[in-house]
Amino acid sequence: MKVLVLNSGSSSLKYQLINMEDENVLAKGNFERIGQYNSFLTHKVGDKKLKFEKPVSNHEKAIKFVLNRLLSTEYGVIKSVDEIDGIGHRIVHGGEKFTKPVIITDEVLEGIKECIELAPLHNPAAILGINACFAVMPGKINVAVFDTAFHQTIPEESYIYPIPYKYYEKYKIRKYGFHRSIT
């Protein structure tokens, strides 16, 4: 089983293609400056690191270009997109709605959108990556993995800030586990 793992930023796309049978990273890379004239891809296979200058205007075009590198006879690691069994997406914020990884459906996508105000720089970019994968690789299972799900077992007395409780109730301001020291 091979899984393509993506971390979509507003102008970047980090990826790894992992063979889950032996947990070997087959290829990894970073597409930077998406939407700018000087965008480029750094693609690494084994010890070989390659750089491709390629202007792309959006995440969908970036993913298509990445797939072409993964399929390349010269520096690729798969012969067909059919070898990719699923796609995992790193999502920064799932709020209290998402406490574990989930298969992305229309409802899940709406839930991720509802959490945009909790991660306005990150969640919109993740949605761009998800939508690009739906367009470029239709029918593939896409899974959302949330940073906020990692510490869902924090007790309430630890995740509530010492501010008026109404801010937690209204805005869901609380600790989610990241950016905190564990003592």
Catalytic-role residue among 22, 47, 82, 147 = 147
CA–CA distance, 147 with 170 (Å, rounded to integer): 22
147 given a catalytic annotation: yes
Q: Which helix (H) or strand (E) holds 43?
A: strand 40-45
CA–CA distance, 172 with 135 (Å, rounded to integer): 33
Q: Strand 84-91 to strand 141-146: parallel, antiparallel, or no bridges (unpaired)?
A: parallel
CA–CA distance, 143 with 37 (Å, rounded to integer): 31
Q: Quote the crossing angle between the two packed helices 106-114 and 123-136, to the nearest 10°.
A: 160
CA–CA distance, 119 with 91 (Å, rounded to integer): 10
CA–CA distance, 93 with 131 (Å, rounded to integer): 17
- In the sheet with 84-91, reading across from the earlier edge strand, the strands are 48-53, 40-45, 24-32, 12-19, 2-8, 84-91, 141-146, 102-103
- Residues designated as active site: 147
